Amino acid sequence: MTAPAPTPARRPDASMTLLTEMLERPLDPGYAAASARRAAAGGPRSTPVGSTLVAVTAILIGLLFAVSATTVRRGEASAGTVRKDLISQIESRRAVVDERSAAIRDRQTEITRLESNALGATENGLRQELQALAVVTGNVAVEGPGLIVTLNDKPTDDATPTAGDGQGKVLSRDLFIVVNSLWQSGAEAIAINGQRLTVRSPIRFAGEAILVNFRPLSPPYVISAIGDPAALPAAFAETVGGAYLKSLTDNFGIVTSVEGADHISLPGATRVTVDKAVVQGGTK
Q: Is 148 helix (H, G, I), strand (E, B) or coil?
A: strand
Instruction: Say which amino acid occupies 255.
Output: V
**In this complex, which beta carbon is closest to another protein, that of residue 63 or of residue 95?**
63
Provide, rounded to whole angstroms, the least separation between the CB of residue 24 and another protein.
8
Tell me how many residues contact another protein (CB under 8 A).
Answer: 39
First vs last Cα of the chain: how many Å apart?
104
- Residue number, 54 or 126, with CB nearest to another protein: 54
Give how far the C-alpha of residue 171 lies from the chain's centroid of Cα atoms, to the nearest Å.
10
Which of residues 58 and 97 has its CB atom nearest to another protein in the complex?
Answer: 58
Nearer residue to another protein within complex by CB, 27 or 279: 27
Asked if 239 is part of the footprint of another protein (rule: CB under 8 A), the reply reads no
Rule CB under 8 A: is residue 71 a binding residue for another protein?
yes
Q: Looking at residues 15 to 34 of the shown chain, list those that interact with another protein (rule: CB under 8 A).
A: 22-23, 26-28, 30-32, 34
For residue 272, give the H/E element and its range: none
Q: How far apart are CA 50 and CA 58, in angstroms?
A: 10
- Burial label for 150, CB within 10 Å (0-12, 13-18, 19+), is middle
The C-alpha atoms of residue 139 and residue 271 are separated, in whole angstroms, by: 8
63 near another protein, judged by CB under 8 A: yes
The amino acid at residue 251 is: N
Q: Which is nearer to another protein, 16 or 69 (CB)?
A: 69
Q: Is residue 110 a contact partner of residue 103, using CB atoms and an 8 Å limit?
A: no
Q: What are phi and psi of 133, to 5 degrees?
A: -65, -40
- Among residues 16, 20, 61, 166, which is the contact residue for another protein, using CB under 8 A? 61
From the CB of 271, what's the least distance to another protein, in Å?
Answer: 42
Residues that bind another protein (CB under 8 A): 22-23, 26-28, 30-32, 34-35, 38, 45-51, 53-72, 75
